Amino acid sequence: MIKTETDIIYNKLKNNVGFDRSKKHLTFIRQFGTPHHLFGSYSQSLKTSDYCTIPVTPEQHEIAEKNKSEFAIDNLYLLIYYLILRIKELE
């Protein structure tokens, strides 16, 4: 399978975001929808950083599961948006 530019960017991000856990951040994201780890997981029990979650609807989650890399790159702006909201809340 030939990797697309989107796949390459997604994998670079996924391999560098780490595995941070934050119940408080997930609670914050839940105010807006169901948290979705934008860069997925490495196994059922090892998800990427909780800080890289965005709120999604069930329909959006279904779309995300069909094409993880494209969904992640297309929604990076939402990750930034919610991180900014969270930082403002903490200041």
Average pLDDT over residues 13-36: 97
- Inter-residue contact 55 to 90 (CB < 8 Å): no
Average pLDDT over residues 3-9: 93
What is the crossing angle of helices 23-30 and 76-90, to 10°?
110
Q: pLDDT by residue (tens digit) across 52-64? A: 999 999 999 999 9
Q: pLDDT by residue (tens digit) across 33-80? A: 999 999 999 887 899 999 999 999 999 999 999 999 999 999 999 999
Q: Is the pLDDT of residue 3 over 90?
A: no
